[in-house]
Chain A
Amino acid sequence: MLLRHVCWQLPPFGRAGVGLIMKTTLESVVIKFAGDSGDGMQLAGTLFTDTTAVMGNAIATFPDFPSEIRAPQGTVAGVSGFQVHFGTSGVHSPGDAPDVLVAMNPAALKANLHNLKPACIILVDVDSFGKKDIEKAGFETNPLEDNTLLDYKVIEGPITSLTKTALADLGLDNKSADRCKNMFTLGMVFWLFSEPLEQTIAFFEQKFKKNPIKGEANIIALKAGYNYALTIEAIKSSFTVLPAKKQAGTYRNITGNQATAWGFLAAAKKAGKPLFLGSYPITPATDIMHELTKHKWAGAKVFQAEDEIAGICSSIGAAFAGNVAITTTSGPGMALKTEAIGLAIMTELPIVIVNVQRGGPSTGLPTKTEQSDLMQAIWGRNGESPIVVISASTPADCFDWAFEATRIALEHMTPVILLTESYLGNGAEPWKIKSLNELPDIKPLTLETKDASWRPYNRDDEKLARKWVIPGTPEMQHRIGGLEKDECSGCVSHNPQNHEIMVNIRKQKVARVANFIPEQRYKGKDAKKLLVVGWGGQFGILFGAVNELQKEGKDIAFTHFNYINPLPKNTAEIFSKFDKILVCELNDGQFANYLRAVLPQFKYEQYNKIQGLPFTVKELKNKFTQLLEEK
């Protein structure tokens, strides 16, 4: 927590301090809501985020939850967390460690103890600290009574019982009343940070229109928590985080998956063709389908297929028939789609395949983040089968990269793989809303009237792209398919020379996309010693870490790749300026190895993390500093 006006000096907590409540202004704060996976922590975190976003703070969020819907209650394995970093400045990532931890039970406390900032505020529900709960979490003695939390500021509240008391008059059953304790807790947190309740109240009024008693219960609990914190003066100060200094404009809070969905809606509109999504549910990609299916009003055709293969194959069919066709999945689904991606490459049809990466291999870590499907995306098919691969770097810019993926697919008649990550898909940040007017038109390569000289695999000289002749176009009937085709006539061909020519054409076609994308940029024009290279969703954390070292005057620069295949044309030129190149990624070195294959003239150092978790600024700074200090 960075302080601006007043130092973070709080007296150790007695229960009810008396005196004036001081308001302390903070630059940024990291809060983690943690509880059982049924405790409603994701909702509490999301509602807190929505309010801070609307109050104009910079935000970044990181939901972290088990893959079971209701993992064993009270155990560390079942802890669900939602971390939100909000502030005036310096918010590039959800933050390394919390300044405030909400622990709804001993397990939530246990799961986070190893990663707390010094002097962290810990808000606990003492009602859930019974003997059994403590044992289940793996504590030998009650952490609230031994010295475990000596270094922290603990706010103990009987949250469960107070929630029930507050709701006594509503006549709810025990379980329903119990469920509102997350809102009681949220109310307390809102008080701590001087945030208004109106937006959360409006949310419940809207959500429970048809069941007002439930809405009322949540609102009562929320207000009761707020008032309780005020009454006990939970801590001597409450805090204010001022709005961030952002570019002028209208913003909204958005998750990566929602931004991806909207990017595709916008791209289809700008291409003047209907959007088709063929998909099969898979964590953590399903929310893209959930979002798009709400927007049938915009013409979105959303087809929930019988499996991953049918998801992509229906998209390939839709692309053949003239729609802007996409499919969404995660690693295991990507593996199943592999053969069909080859078909899209062979038939040169424009589809976008989104892989919201998670931990692998196999089923792996469904709810955890990783960047380990990069090799699969670039090379994971039979035959010589090059494909365009791009990646998003923040939750909000998923919008731009979904749009760009569609543009490349349609303007180059090629399948495109868009890599995002669980960390991006579920994470949220403010998005400066784009209007359709400010987006460029996408120009599909359709051919709508008869051209006697046309053949299915004729191509233009610049892009080597073939034309998109959509069934229904008179006198242009033709056949495509997975068999190799003659370079000229487009008929099936097993001619040896022709095959080599076609392999080369497909390769060149993807390579030439580099002529139609912007140059790579980097931050740190004067630096010479160390270039930090990143790609995908770790942008914010890498940027934050490099930024801090640059402010300290270190000889360090940063470049982040969104275009993976092909790479921007000036990549080698940038690399050649530095003594050391360090590639940082959440895998065992896949981008580094890719760079070794395509730009072998440079030496690449690696920094890898394969824990299903994002980088932390701290560990990155340590690594960068070590490399800067070495000769």
Chain B
Amino acid sequence: MEATTLQCLYKPKDYASDQEVKWCPGCGDYAIINAVQKAFSELNLKKEDVAIISGIGCSSRFPYYMDTYGFHTIHGRPAAVATGVKLANPELSVWMISGDGDSLAIGGNHFIHAIRRNINYNLILFNNEIYGLTKGQYSPTSERGKITKSSPFGTVESPFSVGELALGAQGQFYARVPDTDVKLMAQVMVEAEKHQGLSLVEVLQNCVIFNDKTHAAITAKENKANNQLILEHGKPMLFGENNSKGLRLNGLELEVVTVGENGITTADILVHDASTKSNVLHNMLIQMKLPEFPIAMGVIRNADAPVFDQGFTAQIQQQKASSKYNSLDDLFMSGNTFTINT
């Protein structure tokens, strides 16, 4: 499915703007922007047809570094701005860049409503479980007990699970990716763009300054095989060295099994169906936690549902076709009028 660069309009680097990138050295954001550029190239996106909308936070400087149309908005509101952009011009490929503070704290309301409406844009959520730009306070995804500058004795609140929140808001596309895997990120972003409706991609992103290695148990090279289950639609849910381990259903619970042990064969392993309407199994995959389970990665849910901007535009077309008015003059002169002659 990967097109060769020869057939592409632009190479990934062609999507970079002339601006100096000012993220901290070693920041996970560099890998994400590379993946996005790679995906754009594979998708053959024309630069002028892309609008990248961001909020506030380290991640939200993203549009300045891309040679597309870009809008660095205000804290928490990029989902609402992106909604206006898409409704105003449905032809644009709209990408929203946001963080765990921007989308899940101050912008939580817009986040869930954008998902609920299923508006057709891609929402890339950089989740580093910390506030970086304000220098290290806990975020709505920080684990309980997390010690930060604003929680010196540890937090006493529970974090959001991004995927569960999205599915609870009727999300139809949810993917989770580590910032250490550019190839997987790019693949998932291509899928996100192809999906009609809101596509949420949660990137487990590393903040090298304020929350270094927070995802390391999942993302570190040596942990990848055993601690990540990379899902592919239609493929069995296998992971581990040599894909020796897999998932199966035991009653209403997921269970990790080893292929070849206790008579287990690959035929016993669950096959991933991202497109099924029911989100029950998707939710179970999202909920899997270390150390009992690997962390589910890739496109976990990719289902069809009515798309907001399409319905919005179609209704206008229907009304245009069936209106009793041909012009605003018709409207102004309709109903009860009276004429005064001199």
Measured CB to CB, the residues of A under 8 A from B are: 50, 53-56, 199, 243, 246-253, 262, 265-266, 269, 274, 276, 278, 295-301, 303, 305-307, 309-310, 313-323, 325, 339-340, 342-343, 347, 433-436, 470-483, 491-492
Q: Which 4 A-B pairs have the closest CB atoms?
A: A317-B84, A481-B72, A297-B323, A314-B84
Among A299, A309, A474, A483, the one with the most B-chain Cβ atoms within 10 Å of its Cβ is A309
Asked whether, in the complex, the Cβ of A278 is within 8 Å of the Cβ of B84, the reply is yes
| A contact residues around B91 at 8 Å (CB) | 472
Given contacts A265-B331, A472-B48, A472-B91, 7 further A-B contacts (CB under 8 A): A251-B339, A313-B83, A314-B83, A325-B84, A343-B73, A433-B332, A472-B69
Contacts of B298-322 to chain A: CB distance below 8 A: 312, 315-316, 319-320, 322
Query: In the complex, which of the residues A251, A309, A323, A433 contacts B77, with contact meaning CB atoms closer than 8 Å?
Result: A309
Asked whether, in the complex, the Cβ of B340 is within 8 Å of the Cβ of A343, the reply is no
Asked whether, in the complex, the Cβ of A317 is within 8 Å of the Cβ of B53, the reply is yes
Q: How far is the CA of A166 from the CA of B276 in the complex (A)?
A: 61
Asked whether, in the complex, the Cβ of A306 is within 8 Å of the Cβ of B113, the reply is yes
| A contact residues around B63 at 8 Å (CB) | 479, 481
| A contact residues around B323 at 8 Å (CB) | 297-298
User: Known contacts A246-B340, A310-B83, A476-B48; is A471 also within 8 Å of B109 by CB?
Assistant: no
Q: How far is the CA of A323 from the CA of B51 in the complex (A)?
A: 15
Q: Tell whether B342 is near chain A: CB-to-CB under 8 Å.
A: yes
15 inter-chain pairs at a CB distance below 8 angstroms, sorted by A residue, are: A247-B340, A252-B336, A269-B328, A276-B84, A295-B331, A296-B315, A296-B319, A296-B320, A320-B88, A340-B74, A433-B333, A433-B337, A435-B332, A478-B70, A483-B72
Q: Tell whether B81 is near chain A: CB-to-CB under 8 Å.
A: yes
> What bracket does the count of chain B residues touching chain A fall in?
35 or more
Q: How far is the CA of A271 from the CA of B291 in the complex (A)?
A: 61
| B contact residues around A433 at 8 Å (CB) | 332-333, 337
Taking the closest CB of chain A, its distance from the CB of B327, in whole angstroms, is 7
Query: In the complex, which of the residues A299, A478, A480, A491 contacts B320, with contact meaning CB atoms closer than 8 Å?
Result: A299
Asked whether, in the complex, the Cβ of B84 is within 8 Å of the Cβ of A309, the reply is no
Asked whether, in the complex, the Cβ of A477 is within 8 Å of the Cβ of B69, the reply is yes
Q: Tell whether B19 is near chain A: CB-to-CB under 8 Å.
A: yes
Contacts of B149-203 to chain A: CB distance below 8 A: none
Q: Tell whether B85 is near chain A: CB-to-CB under 8 Å.
A: yes
Q: Tell whether B222 is near chain A: CB-to-CB under 8 Å.
A: no
Interface string of B86-97 (1 = CB under 8 A from A): 111101100000
Q: Which residue of chain A has its CB nearest to the CB of B54?
A: A481
Q: How far is the CA of A310 from the CA of B48 in the complex (A)?
A: 25
Asked whether, in the complex, the Cβ of B109 is within 8 Å of the Cβ of A310, the reply is yes
Contacts of B42-56 to chain A: CB distance below 8 A: 46-51, 53, 56
Q: Which residue of chain B has its CB nearest to the CB of A474?
A: B48
Q: Which residue of chain A has its CB nearest to the CB of B90?
A: A321
| B contact residues around A316 at 8 Å (CB) | 73, 81, 84
Asked whether, in the complex, the Cβ of A473 is within 8 Å of the Cβ of B87, the reply is no
Q: Tell whether B40 is near chain A: CB-to-CB under 8 Å.
A: no
| A contact residues around B72 at 8 Å (CB) | 479-483
Q: Which residue of chain A has its CB nearest to the CB of B77?
A: A313
Asked whether, in the complex, the Cβ of A321 is within 8 Å of the Cβ of B74, the reply is no
Q: Tell whether B17 is near chain A: CB-to-CB under 8 Å.
A: yes
| B contact residues around A474 at 8 Å (CB) | 46, 48
Taking the closest CB of chain B, its distance from the CB of A360, in whole angstroms, is 24
| B contact residues around A301 at 8 Å (CB) | 87-88, 312, 316
Q: How far is the CA of A266 from the CA of B69 in the complex (A)?
A: 29
Asked whether, in the complex, the Cβ of A473 is within 8 Å of the Cβ of B84, the reply is no
Among A53, A317, A436, A481, the one with the most B-chain Cβ atoms within 10 Å of its Cβ is A317
User: Known contacts A55-B338, A310-B80; is A471 also within 8 Å of B110 by CB?
Assistant: no
User: Known contacts A55-B338, A251-B338, A471-B69; is A322 also within 8 Å of B89 by CB?
Assistant: yes
Q: How far is the CA of A297 from the CA of B83 in the complex (A)?
A: 21
Q: Which residue of chain B has its CB nearest to the CB of A475?
A: B48
Taking the closest CB of chain A, its distance from the CB of B240, in whole angstroms, is 43
Q: How far is the CA of A18 from the CA of B69 in the complex (A)?
A: 82
Asked whether, in the complex, the Cβ of A478 is within 8 Å of the Cβ of B69, the reply is yes
Q: How far is the CA of A542 from the CA of B328 in the complex (A)?
A: 33
| B contact residues around A492 at 8 Å (CB) | 19, 64
| B contact residues around A249 at 8 Å (CB) | 339-340
| B contact residues around A55 at 8 Å (CB) | 338
Asked whether, in the complex, the Cβ of B80 is within 8 Å of the Cβ of A305, the reply is yes
Asked whether, in the complex, the Cβ of A54 is within 8 Å of the Cβ of B336, the reply is yes
Query: In the complex, which of the residues B68, B74, B325, B329 contacts A482, with contact meaning CB atoms closer than 8 Å?
Result: B74
Asked whether, in the complex, the Cβ of B85 is within 8 Å of the Cβ of A479, the reply is no
Q: How far is the CA of A248 from the CA of B71 in the complex (A)?
A: 50
| B contact residues around A269 at 8 Å (CB) | 328
Taking the closest CB of chain B, its distance from the CB of A447, in whole angstroms, is 13
User: Known contacts A56-B340, A248-B342, A472-B91; is A479 also within 8 Å of B320 by CB?
Assistant: no
Taking the closest CB of chain B, its distance from the CB of A495, in whole angstroms, is 15
Taking the closest CB of chain B, its distance from the CB of A260, in whole angstroms, is 14
Among B67, B72, B86, B333, the one with the most A-chain Cβ atoms within 10 Å of its Cβ is B72
Q: Which residue of chain B has its CB nearest to the CB of A430?
A: B338
Q: Tell whether B7 is near chain A: CB-to-CB under 8 Å.
A: no
Among B50, B73, B113, the one with the most A-chain Cβ atoms within 10 Å of its Cβ is B73
Q: Which residue of chain B has its CB nearest to the CB of A252?
A: B337
| B contact residues around A342 at 8 Å (CB) | 74
Asked whether, in the complex, the Cβ of A313 is within 8 Å of the Cβ of B19, the reply is no
Q: Tell whether B341 is near chain A: CB-to-CB under 8 Å.
A: yes
Asked whether, in the complex, the Cβ of A251 is within 8 Å of the Cβ of B319, the reply is no
Q: Which residue of chain A has its CB nearest to the CB of B92?
A: A471
| B contact residues around A325 at 8 Å (CB) | 84, 88
